[in-house]
Chains A and B, each alone.
Chain A
Amino acid sequence: MAMKSGQRRGRLSWLLALLVISSASGALAAELPVYHLTIKDGTFEPAVIKVPAHTRFKLVISNQGPGPEEFESLELRKETVLAPGVTRTVVFAALRPGSYRFFGEFHPETAQGKIAVK
Chain B
Amino acid sequence: MSNAIFIVWRESVEALLVIGILQVWLNNREQARMGLRFLWGGVAAGVGLALLLAFIMLRVQTELAGAALEYFQIGMMLVASALIIQMVFWMRRHGRTLKRKLEAGMEQASSRANWWAVAALATLAVGREGAETVIFLYGFGMSRTGLAQLQFFAATAAGLGLALCTYWLLSRGGRFFSCRTFFSCSEIVLLFLAAALLVDGVDRMIGLGWLPPLLDPVWDTSALLDDSSVAGSLVASLTGYRAHPALLVLLVYLAYWLLITVFLRHSRPSQRKTA
Give A contacts to B, CB under 8 Å: 25, 28, 56, 58, 65-68, 70, 72-78, 80-81, 83-84, 86-94, 96, 101, 103, 105-108
Contacts and interface: CB of A to CB of B under 8 A. Distances in A.
Contacts of A91: 67, 208
B243 interface: yes
- Most chain B beta-carbon neighbours within 10 Å: one of A25, A74, A75, A89: A74
7 contacts: A68-B138, A78-B207, A84-B139, A91-B208, A96-B216, A106-B7, A108-B3
B93 interface: no
A75 B142 contact: no
A113 to B, nearest CB: 11
A11 to B, nearest CB: 24
Interface in B37-68: 57-58, 60-61, 63-64, 66-67
A74 to B, nearest CB: 5
Interface in B162-212: 203-204, 206-209
Given A67-B143, A73-B228, A88-B61, A81 B132 contact: yes
B199 to A, nearest CB: 10
Given A88-B60, A91-B67, A101-B228, A83 B135 contact: yes
Nearest to A25: B64
A106 B3 contact: yes
Contacts of A101: 228
Interface in B108-164: 131-132, 135-136, 138-140, 142-144
Residues of B contacting A: mostly: helix
B228 A74 contact: yes
B214 to A, nearest CB: 12
Contacts of A72: 233
A81 B131 contact: yes
A73 B207 CA distance: 11
Contacts of B1: none
Contacts of A93: 206-209
Given A81-B57, A83-B58, A88-B66, A56 B143 contact: no
Given A66-B144, A84-B139, A91-B208, 13 more contacts: A28-B67, A56-B209, A65-B139, A74-B203, A77-B207, A78-B207, A80-B66, A80-B70, A81-B131, A83-B58, A93-B209, A106-B3, A106-B136
B11 to A, nearest CB: 10
A25 B71 CA distance: 13
B99 interface: no
B230 interface: yes
Nearest to B4: A106
B19 interface: no
A84 B204 CA distance: 24
A87 B59 CA distance: 10
Contacts of A83: 57-58, 135, 138-139
A77 B61 CA distance: 20
Contacts of A70: 132, 136
B92 interface: no
A28 B63 contact: yes
Question: By CB atoms of chain B within 10 A, which of A56, A89, A90, A93 has the most?
Answer: A93
Given A83-B138, A106-B3, A90 B233 contact: no
Nearest to A103: B228
Contacts of A75: 227-228, 243-244
Nearest to A42: B3
A106 B203 CA distance: 22
B151 to A, nearest CB: 14
